[in-house]
Structure 1
Amino acid sequence: MGPVGSWVVRAGAGFGRACVGAVVCLLVPGVWAAAVGLGVWCGAEHPWSWIGPAVIVCVGTVGLARPVCRTVRSLVARWTGTGIPDGYRQPGPVTQLSTGYWWNGFSYERSRRDAVMDQRMRLWWSDPATWRDLRFVLVAPVTAGVVAALPPAAVTAGGLGLGQAAAVPRPVGGLALVLAVAVAPYAWRAVEKVAVRFLRPSPAMVLAERVDELTAQRADATVAQAAEIRRIERDLHDGAQARLVALGLALATAEALMDRDPRQAKALMREARAGATASLTELRELIRGISPPVLSERGLVDAVRALALDVPLDVAVSAAGPLRLDPPIESAVYFGIAELLTNAVKHAGASRARVSLVRDDTGLVVEVEDDGRGGADARPGGGLAGLRRRLAVFDGTLGITSPAGGPTRVRMAVPCE
């Protein structure tokens, strides 16, 4: 495609984006204009006739603010790949107390419906993002909306001018069409500039969101630590401790039989030795579940390769050289890979898997891919959701791509120096 063809494609795509951006940015002023027209049509001699249009202006502005802002963010992300976080406060759980009332984090209500409605209203009113969205729908029409409306307005003016029989409007119409073609590839970019400037969360909102995130991570870490302690206690009580008690009883019995029945005493001693060996094996397995020795001795890459040998899959492990990270990060990544490979065996029915570990300027990136049936997602309370929470403690992220029929590709990214 030559330069002319490329310009035509850019102009056509830019014209379409400019039209969409103009419609979205000028939607609220359109509601205002319709309300004013309704007031004029009802008659200006009656002062009360303007109450309805005023209500339409207020309700329309407030009701359209958040949908317009969400649409703008979606368009900017689709057109430019620039993601703009919304920063909206998320509602907390609504729980029923023993008294029968419902608690929504703000007040007690008699029914769940009333509690949810009250929570939504309070969140909407107290959320700084609400007032940021209202500011955007007031600023966008006179900035991005006007600029994005230039190409369609110029095309309209050009069509009207060329349709006139007089000599003067025709050159003006031709100039309008030239202007539309010239600005079409660039006019829509004003939507991105204004959206990035006015729709980004403020530092106070980012800080509040970070505090909420860290609070949730602390709660998850506390719960996970308590669960891990209970698991260790249960394994020790049901496994090694029971075997050691049996070992003590066997030794006491052998001591009592040593003089009367040496043969039976020797048999008990042999059973006690076998019990001691089994107890030692269980203790080693328990220690390996807490922190694999190969992980602390030889590093993450060798630990993952040793793990791949124990998994009933054809696992290929690739890494860009040895990787030594902080022990908590290595442990989280190791057990994350172990859980993903276990899921590939138990749930995906996979036969092959691939593990890739890469260290770049931002941190560690781990990709685990299998040829299973797909359909994996981070359901609340599931293993993948728990893995995402564990990585979030280190500001890590978990990305899942798992279409129906496979393959499943999971990407873990953990920032580290």
Structure 2
Amino acid sequence: MDQLKARAACVGVGFVRSCAVAVVSMLVPAVWAAAVALGIAWGAANPWSWLAPLVLVCVGTLGLARPVCRAIRALVARWTGTAIPAGYRQAGPVTRMSTGYWWNGFGYERTSRDALLDQKTRVRWRDPANWRDLRFMAVLPCTAGLVACLPAAGVAAAVVALGMTGRVALPVGALGLAVAVAAAPYAWRPVEPVAVRFLRPSPAMALADRVAELTVQRADTTVAQAAEIRRIERDLHDGAQARLVGLGLSLATAEMLMASDPEQARALMRDARVGAAASLAELRELVQGISPPVLTERGLVDAVRALALDVPLDVTVGADDGLRLEPPVESAVYFGVAELLTNAVRHAGASRAGVSLTHDGVGIVVEVEDDGRGGADARPGGGLAGLRGRLAVFDGTVEIASPVGGPTRVRMTVPCESL
């Protein structure tokens, strides 16, 4: 009984999905059929009878191509979980120049509205994805669309046969119903491979998207580097530099008091020695923030273990012994782990954390887990968003799983070779 219910549910779901694919797939052919019917209705005697059908075919096909492709992507993603990148060109920002005109990436306009309208039109009709969508409109009805019509055609044949009289009516109706039931669970499935094959971005489109992504990453990296340089300058100016200036003044005063007041001179020299020690400690902390010596000398694994000892958490570190990477990758991963452990202390209220570093043959895989309150997400401008941006420079990824109440698991992957 349960198997019968499951089979009926599978047939019902498959029938609905097949009908959805058939309707979406046949929208453009329906426009073509309407154009042909319009031409026939006007008659061959009218010398302009071909113009209206031609306009209808062109406008209907161009207007429906992108919505149909988006609908197919949405159906495939919802039913199978396969996400097909759209690959459409995105409009850039519209900027007002000092002359008062607006620049939209293609030309200058007097108002922002005109600039946006001109930009939208140019981006829409110069997009190479238009040709891909038009090709898909020709392929889809003849492949997945035709197969998806089988269940509906079988039901239609059964209904028509039941309304007829004769010896063959009952066999035809039964055959149509059998075809509908047998094909329903499978008739919608060809839409996935067809969509993946013909709707994915072309190599040229993927390359253009990658160039745009790298351009954004370069800009973010430049901004981050400038901010880091300003931080170092501020720390040096407000900390070690101020102390060294005070140290110089103390030594100069001690030199003048050496003959007249030796005790006061010795006191100033003792203060100068304390100031020198404090300046040295601040410089060491600054160097530690730029590039920890243990990371340079002993590698990523020992640097993370040393970091775990300084964090006020019970941190366990598991790693492949002898794991060494290129210095830029090691630095990015190290500061990523430091960011995650800092978040576990400051924001999550965690008491324990675990760090795992492994190389899976393709790249470094780092997993950080804590028992904090959870709820972490990569908000724009936040630490996790910055971490994702820093690893994206190396084609790295950051996956965050942090339900409210915890635990928080963050997985960082960076493709690289192990030295």
Quickly name the TM-score band, shorter chain normalised: 0.7 to 0.9
Q: State whether structure 2 residue 147 is matched by structure 1 residue 147.
A: yes
Q: Distance in 1 between matches of 2:135 and 2:206?
A: 18
Distance 1:414 1:9, change over 3 A: farther
Partner of residue 376, structure 1: 377
Q: C-alpha root-mean-square deviation of aligned residues, in Å?
A: 3.1
Distance 1:240 1:197, change over 3 A: same
Q: State whether structure 2 residue 279 is matched by structure 1 residue 288.
A: no
Distance 1:28 1:367, change over 3 A: farther
The residue correspondences of 1:389-408 to structure 2 (distance < 5 A) are 389-402=389-402, 408=408
Please tell me the residue identity of whatever aligns with 1:25: S
Please tell me the residue identity of whatever aligns with 2:268: L
Q: State whether structure 2 residue 290 is matched by structure 1 residue 261.
A: no
Shift of 1:9: 5.1
Distance 1:94 1:259, change over 3 A: same
Q: Distance in 2 between matches of 1:102 and 1:347?
A: 44
Q: Single out whichever of 197-206 and 399-408 deviates more from structure 2.
A: 399-408
Q: Single out whichever of 178-187 and 342-351 deviates more from structure 2.
A: 342-351
The residue correspondences of 1:41-56 to structure 2 (distance < 5 A) are 55-56=55-56
Q: State whether structure 2 residue 218 is matched by structure 1 residue 232.
A: no
Q: Distance in 2 between matches of 1:373 and 1:349?
A: 9
Q: Distance in 2 between matches of 1:394 and 1:303?
A: 20
The residue correspondences of 1:310-389 to structure 2 (distance < 5 A) are 310-313=310-313, 315-319=315-319, 323-347=323-347, 353-370=353-370, 371-372=372-373, 374=375, 376-379=377-380, 381-389=381-389
Partner of residue 83, structure 1: 83
Shift of 1:308: 3.8
Q: Single out whichever of 404-413 and 67-76 deviates more from structure 2.
A: 404-413
Distance 1:163 1:206, change over 3 A: same
Distance 1:231 1:138, change over 3 A: same
Please tell me the residue identity of whatever aligns with 2:259: D
Shift of 1:394: 0.8
Unpaired stretches in structure 2, ≥5 consecutive residues: none
Q: Single out whichever of 258-267 and 30-39 deviates more from structure 2.
A: 30-39
Distance 1:344 1:102, change over 3 A: farther
Please tell me the residue identity of whatever aligns with 1:99: T
Q: Distance in 1 between matches of 2:383 and 2:78?
A: 31
Distance 1:54 1:409, change over 3 A: farther
CA deviation string 1:325-353 (max 9, x = no partner)? 22211211221232233344445555655
Q: Single out whichever of 49-58 and 269-278 deviates more from structure 2.
A: 49-58
Shift of 1:246: 1.3
Q: Single out whichever of 336-345 and 63-72 deviates more from structure 2.
A: 336-345
The residue correspondences of 1:203-222 to structure 2 (distance < 5 A) are 203-222=203-222
Shift of 1:142: 1.9
Q: Distance in 2 between matches of 1:198 and 1:27?
A: 18
Q: Distance in 2 between matches of 1:30 and 1:316?
A: 64
Distance 1:276 1:367, change over 3 A: same
Q: Single out whichever of 85-94 and 9-18 deviates more from structure 2.
A: 9-18
Per the normalisation by structure 2, the TM-score is: 0.87
Identity of paired residues, percent? 71
Paired residue secondary structure (1:118) = helix
Q: Distance in 2 between matches of 1:96 and 1:57?
A: 40
The total of aligned residue pairs comes to 416
Shift of 1:140: 0.9
Unpaired stretches in structure 1, ≥5 consecutive residues: none
Per the normalisation by structure 1, the TM-score is: 0.87
Partner of residue 278, structure 2: 278
Partner of residue 65, structure 1: 65
Distance 1:81 1:361, change over 3 A: farther
Partner of residue 187, structure 1: 187
Shift of 1:86: 1.7
Q: Distance in 2 between matches of 1:113 and 1:79?
A: 39
Q: Distance in 2 between matches of 1:307 and 1:267?
A: 38
Q: Distance in 2 between matches of 1:261 and 1:119?
A: 79
Q: Single out whichever of 109-118 and 13-22 deviates more from structure 2.
A: 13-22
Q: Distance in 1 between matches of 2:321 and 2:181?
A: 53
